[in-house]
Structure formats: structure tokens, C-alpha cells
Amino acid sequence: MRAFTRFFVFFSIFAIATVTSKAQTNQRPSAFVLPIKKHEPTQQFFTSLDVGTPRRSSLNLVLDLNSNLTWLNCHRRNSSTLRQTRCRSSVCSAVPGDGCEGGFCSRRLRSPLSGKPVAGRISQERISFHSTPSTFGDKTIVRVSVRPFTLLMYRISFHSTPSTFGDKTIVRVSVRPFTFLGAADPGVAPPAVGVVGLAGSAISLPAQVTSAFNVIRKFALCLPSYGTGRFYIGAALYDFPPLTESPPLTLTPFGKHPGSGAGDYFISVSSISVDGDVIAVNGGTKISTVTPYTVLHSDVYRALALSFENIAKAMGIRKAPAVAPFMDCFDASSVRKNAIGPNVPAVDFVVPGRIGNVKWRFYGANSMVKANEKVMCLAFVDGGTKSDNSITIGTHQLQNHLVEFDLTTSVFGFSESLLLHNTSCSS
């Protein structure tokens, strides 16, 4: 019965999706491209959505791979299209968890940043966003309307350009109702006012958008080290000038780690290699967009740091006092630089591929961080002996790597550093 309920909810969403355009076209979008911004003080990555009616300024929402549901601060916001969800409704039943408050569907979650409980009501709203296409056509203006879209408390709008609509296409995409959680305190720091759920559930933002427009169930992220990166929903062509085609992706399965939250993305890292020096890894490896630097179990960290230090010493790189939260730091004047960052030992994460093992390589731009003018540090954090996972891959390591999540096949794809091709996620 629950499976039928979820089918009915999302069939209804798709059935009333509409597309209108100033330039008449029979094409439907196959993908959308949204912006990603980095907030340096908090190390948060967020995208922007327009929420509610009338549309006001865009809201900044933190990208979170491990949240099933989108939620935001809706305190003192009035919207004519907001609809709160009743208990025992089909929409309420489709949202994992249990809760009812004053006859309305409610849920209690945990903030991915503060760790504090976040409580709110499940609501449906209109959302919209601007999107840029990954393949180009001339000046097509498309307005896409989807209703309903389920979200927590508000209607969301985002500006999006579909990848099939061509060069300089500016498309405004509306989804209503969109299901999300409305909370007075979403547990995030300014300039963000909420969280975009990207987990593999049926109520995440990618799942609701791909279902509404009947496009391939996948999304991709390209986190920038500066400027504006890209958040793809659907089957996009990844365009990074001066590359003439999409960067190739290395594929590995992803899954859910036993005992983890429903939305976690886990891959299997069997070992770490530092310039050929192999370190065995036991346990799960989670991918995170809210953890700034990769966190390692103490045993793994100590082995990695020792191997890295020995090879760096042979390269003439001198040690320096630690700078919190980093434990292994180096004299910046002794570190040379090249096109892919500081010239230091390469760090490889070994994962299963289609045929045998493959390596995800991190060069200096992803393995080192500038602590101050005189000191550079190994950009990995000792997570202690009681950490939940052997490895949690953080955003510093993800920067300037295109990463793709295929929700249909449960396959994770990653590119090599775009810096190797004289481009980046900011290009």
C-alpha cells in the first residue's frame, strides 16, 4: 500500500507539470544546471532557490548529500501557495518518520551542521530556480511549471536552463507543490537559511525534480574553490571550457552503510596509497558536502600522515608546528607549486571499478590547505578511534572534481582533477 501511495504522489506531481516558452518549442528539458556558491567563513556550499508566492529574494540553502528532506526557516514568511500537509495524507505517509502536531504532519530531524534537533511541519509549496543549459541553443526563454511539489513548509522557485534548450537559454523552472520541512531554526549559519536534501530518497530535491519532469534520475556536483560551481539535475552534458567534451568519469558502486541514516552515500575504499605506499582501510567511506575536510579514523590517519611526511621529507619539504584542526603541517617556503597546487606526494583512494580496482587521486590542491602565510597543512583530520566511519570524504577533497550520483543504478562517478586540464568547477 505504501509503495502505491508513493507512486500516486509522484504520478500526480508529473501529471500537472507544464512547460511554456516565449520561443515555441516541443522540446522538454533533459537536465537543469543550478549555481553553487562557497561561503569561505563557514566552508559551506549552497545553491539558491526562490520560495513562495509572491517571489522575493532567493534563499541560500546548504547542499547536503545525507539529508532526505529539504528544510528551511519559514518564520515570518507569508505565501499564498503554501499548503501544510495533514496527518494521514498520502504526502505525509510518503515522508519517512512519524509525527503529528495539531492535525498537521510534522517531523523531527537533526541538523547536519550543528547536530541539534530540527522540528517542523511537512508542507507543499511552489519552488523555482534559474538554470543554464549544458548544450546550447539561441535565446530560448522557457517557463516550466510543476505542481504539486512537496517540501517542508514553502513553495520553492529556482531559475534553471535545460540542457536541451541551447545557447544562452534562460529558463525559469517552477515546481509546485514541492515537499519540504519548515522550521523556525534550521540549524545553519548565515548566509544560509536552510538545507537542500540530496539523499537517495523519493523526497529529495533531485528525486522530486527528476520525477516531475520525467528525466533520468541522476545529479552531479562540481564544488568550486572560488567563484560559482555547478549543480546538475538530470542527464546533463558537462561543459568545462577549454575541454571540447564532458570529462570522463571513473565509476564505482555506492550504497548505504549498515546502521547509517537512510540518505548516506557510501563507497568502498579498500586502501589509501601515498606515492605507492599502501595503507589498508577497513570500514565504510561516506561522501559529505557539509564536512569541510576529510576525516579519518585515527589508525588510518596516523598511517597516512607518517607515509606522507616521510615522502615529503625526501622531497625537501620541512615540518612546521601544527595549526588546529590540522596535526601535520609544513613550512610553506619549502613547498613548490605547479598547476595542480602544492607539489607534494599524491594521495590515492583505491575503490572497486568495473574491472578491478581504480584510483581516485588527490593532488596538492586537494590534499593541502594554507593555514597561514608561512604554514601549509595536510588537509585531513584525525577523527579519533570512535569515529562512525573509517573515512568521511569532505568538501576540500571534492573541490574541482566533477562527481555524479546515478540514483537508478546506484553508481558514483568521479573525474580526475579538472585543474589537470587547465579548467575548474568555476570555469
- What phi, psi does 313 have (nearest 5°)? -60, -40
The single-letter code of the amino acid at 208 is: Q
Decide: residue 38, CB within 10 A, 0-12 exposed, 13-18 middle, 19+ buried.
buried
pLDDT bin (cut points 50, 70, 90) of residue 11 is very low
Cα separation values, 38 from 56, 68, 175, 411, Å: 22, 22, 25, 26
Dihedral in degrees, nearest 10, Cα atoms 398, 40, 76, 108 = 40
What DSSP line would sit under 47-102, residue for residue? EEEEESSS--SPEEEEEETT-SS-EEE-TT---TT-EEPBTTSHHHHHSSS--EET
DSSP letter at 350? E
Q: What is the pLDDT of residue 194?
A: 86
Q: Name the average pLDDT for the chain.
A: 81
Q: What is the pLDDT of residue 120?
A: 84
Beta bridge partners of 267: 285
Instruction: Catalogue all structural domains in the chain, each as residue range(s) with its CATH number.
Output: 2-234 (2.40.70.10), 250-421 (2.40.70.10)
Query: Which residue would you say has higher pLDDT here, 121 or 270?
Result: 270
Q: What is the pLDDT of residue 80?
A: 81
Taken in order 258, 260, 261, 265, the sign of the CA dihedral is negative
Residues 196-221 have a mean pLDDT of: 90
Query: Residues of the chain with pLDDT > 90: what percent?
Result: 47
As a whole number of angstroms, the distance between CA 47 and CA 129 comes to: 10
Q: Is pLDDT at 153 greater than 50 in this prediction?
A: no
399-420 pLDDT, tens digit per residue, is 999 999 999 999 999 999 999 9
As a whole number of angstroms, the distance between CA 361 and CA 44 comes to: 23
84-139 pLDDT, tens digit per residue, is 889 988 888 888 778 888 898 888 877 777 777 778 888 888 888 766 654 333 33
174-188 pLDDT, tens digit per residue, is 776 677 777 666 667
Q: What is the pLDDT of residue 50?
A: 83
Of 44-58, 168-182, 305-319, the least confident: 168-182
Query: Which residue would you say has higher pLDDT here, 258 or 230?
Result: 230
What DSSP line would sit under 276-331, residue for residue? TEEEE--S-EEE-SS-SSEEE-HHHHHHHHHHHHHHHHHTTPPEE--BTTBS-EEE
Q: What is the pLDDT of residue 423?
A: 96
As a whole number of angstroms, the distance between CA 284 and CA 270 comes to: 9
Helix axis angle for 2-15 and 205-213, nearest 10°, is 60
Of 54-68, 86-100, 149-163, 203-217, the least confident: 149-163
CA 57 to centroid of chain Cα atoms? 22
Task: Answer whether 196's CB lies under 8 Å from 62's CB.
Answer: yes
Query: Which residue would you say has higher pLDDT here, 120 or 396?
Result: 396
pLDDT bin (cut points 50, 70, 90) of residue 151 is very low
The single-letter code of the amino acid at 158 is: F
Rounded CA Rg of the chain: 22
pTM of the model: 0.85
